[in-house]
Amino acid sequence: MNLQPLLGMSNCKRIHVMRALSNLAKFLGVYDDYRRLIRKYGLSWKPKTSDEYIIVRLTKVRNPHEIFEWG
């Protein structure tokens, strides 16, 4: 019942793993326990907002002129 490894995963991978674990928890009948663990570890189901995606993309740019080529 340790969700610590999820904290080090990328957002996309973490959400996929959380969904898989959610389905497993429902199948095993321990979904309420799983939800408590999610809250305990401060994990979120929500993907990033569109603004957050833009900020992440802008901060990964190595060449500032590359931004003008996106359009």
Over the Cα atoms of the chain, what is R_g? 17
pLDDT band for position 48 (50/70/90)?
Answer: low
Rounded to whole angstroms, the Cα distance separating 15 from 6 reads 9
| pLDDT for residue 20 | 94
Q: Whole-prediction pTM value?
A: 0.62
**Pick from 2, 3, 10, 12: which is nearest to 43 by CA?**
3
Tally of domains within the chain = 1
Domain holding 9, by residue range, is: 4-69
Structure tokens of 42? 């401060």
What's phi and psi for 15, nearest 5 deg? Answer: -65, -40
pLDDT band at residue 47, thresholds of 50, 70 and 90? low
Phi then psi for residue 8, to 5 deg, are -95, 0
